[in-house]
């Protein structure tokens, strides 16, 4: 393959990566804790989209448990988002790490 062909292939891959990156950034990843009393949604861009707390947890005695469940749900949702991103990007790049945050 000549340099022109390699350049075209690299440009095509870059466009595919940008498309997948855009899709991932708008994808919502959900995680629940405590049998569904805590629900967290994060975007693939690693931003928290929403947090839902069942009113049964809103008392002083359960404050520490509530805080721990929220933290755990957020972390688990972020793990899901990262795994999906890695999987989808690796499908395009064949596992080769791309520069520039892709």
Hey, where are the domains in the chain? 28-92
pTM, 2 dp: 0.67
Q: Which residues pair with 51 in a beta bridge?
A: 40
Q: How many CA atoms lie within 13 A of 28 on its CB side?
A: 9
d(CA 1, CA 12) in angstroms, rounded, equals 15
Summarised one tens digit per residue, pLDDT across range 42-94 is 998 888 999 998 888 887 777 888 888 899 999 999 999 999 988 988 888 78
Report the topology of domain 28-92: Ybab; Chain: A; (3.30.1310)
d(CA 13, CA 96) in angstroms, rounded, equals 12
């Amino acid at each position: 393959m000549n340099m022109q062909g390699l350049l075209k292939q690299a440009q095509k891959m870059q466009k595919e990566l940008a498309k997948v990156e855009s899709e991932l950034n708008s994808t919502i990843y959900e995680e629940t804790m405590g049998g569904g009393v805590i629900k967290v949604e994060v975007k693939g861009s690693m931003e928290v989209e929403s947090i839902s707390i069942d009113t049964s947890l809103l008392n002083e005695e359960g404050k520490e448990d509530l805080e721990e469940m929220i933290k755990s749900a957020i972390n688990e949702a972020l793990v899901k988002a990262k795994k999906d991103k890695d999987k989808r990007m690796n499908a395009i790049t064949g596992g080769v790490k791309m520069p520039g945050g892709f």
